[in-house]
């Protein structure tokens, strides 16, 4: 009887340890998936809604102006009214989008304010870029 109780107590302690370790691993996987999901959520074509500095229009946007994040971590954007067409590589890290331009050789970092399946909003200083998913 004493041996059975000791085995039962040992099994309960071991189960608690396994539960704690399991919860820790599960939490870490959720954190990793969250970051990966946001990065994957960027992939696709985004239509510019506005580009504002403070509350005023900074760069006018047209109905066909888009920013595209490709799966191979390249990007391109076209702002027809402003005659701006750029491309390069992109990274998503620490709630920021990093754009590495081909020409001129430049790196810009944008802080992400909103990222969802249909809405993307980020800023660089006081310039705010507001976009919606283009389907």
- 89 shares a domain with 36: no
Contacts of 76 (CB under 8 A, 6+ apart): 67, 68, 70, 85, 86, 87
Q: Chain-wide mean pLDDT for the chain?
A: 83
Same domain (yes/no): 27, 88:
no
Residues 24 and 55 in one domain: no
Q: Are residues 53 and 110 in the same domain?
A: yes
- Number of structural domains in the chain: 2
Same domain for 123 and 70:
yes
State the CATH number of the domain containing residue 121.
Answer: 2.40.128.280
Q: Is the pLDDT of residue 11 over 90?
A: no
pLDDT at 37: 72
Rounded Cα distance between 39 and 93, Å, is: 8
Residues 6+ apart with CB under 8 A from 115: 38, 41, 42, 121
Provide mean pLDDT across the span 110-135: 96
Asked if 112 and 95 sit in the same domain, the reply is yes
pLDDT given at position 22: 45
Domain membership of residue 110 as a residue range = 43-133
Together in a domain, 106 and 127:
yes
Q: Name which residue leads in pLDDT, 16 or 29.
A: 16
User: Same domain for 49 and 93?
Assistant: yes
pLDDT tier at 21 (50, 70, 90 boundaries)?
very low
User: Do residue 10 and residue 64 come from a single domain?
Assistant: no
pTM, to two decimals: 0.72
Q: What is the pLDDT of residue 102?
A: 87
Instruction: Verify that 80 and 29 share a domain, yes or no.
Output: no
Q: Give the residue-averaged pLDDT of 77-100.
A: 96
Report CA-CA distances (Å) from 56 to 50, 74, 78, 127. 10, 30, 21, 10
Average pLDDT over residues 84-109: 95
Residue 48, pLDDT score: 98
Say whether both 102 and 120 belong to one domain. yes
Q: Is the pLDDT of residue 109 over 50?
A: yes
- Residue 6 pLDDT > 50: yes
Same domain, 38 and 63: no
pLDDT at 33 over 50: no
* Whole-number pLDDT of residue 74: 98
């Amino acid at each position: 009887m004493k041996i059975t109780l000791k085995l039962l107590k040992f099994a309960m302690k071991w189960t608690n340890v396994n539960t704690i370790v399991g919860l820790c691993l599960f939490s870490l996987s959720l954190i990793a998936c969250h970051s990966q999901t946001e990065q994957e959520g960027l992939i696709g074509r985004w239509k510019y809604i506005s580009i504002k500095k403070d509350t005023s229009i900074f760069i006018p946007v047209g109905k066909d102006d888009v920013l595209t994040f490709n799966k191979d971590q390249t990007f391109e954007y076209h702002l027809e009214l402003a005659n701006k067409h750029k491309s390069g590589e992109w990274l998503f890290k620490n709630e920021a989008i990093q754009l590495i331009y081909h020409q001129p050789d430049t790196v810009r970092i944008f802080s992400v304010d909103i990222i969802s399946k249909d809405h993307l909003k980020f800023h660089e200083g006081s310039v705010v870029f507001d976009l919606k998913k283009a389907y």
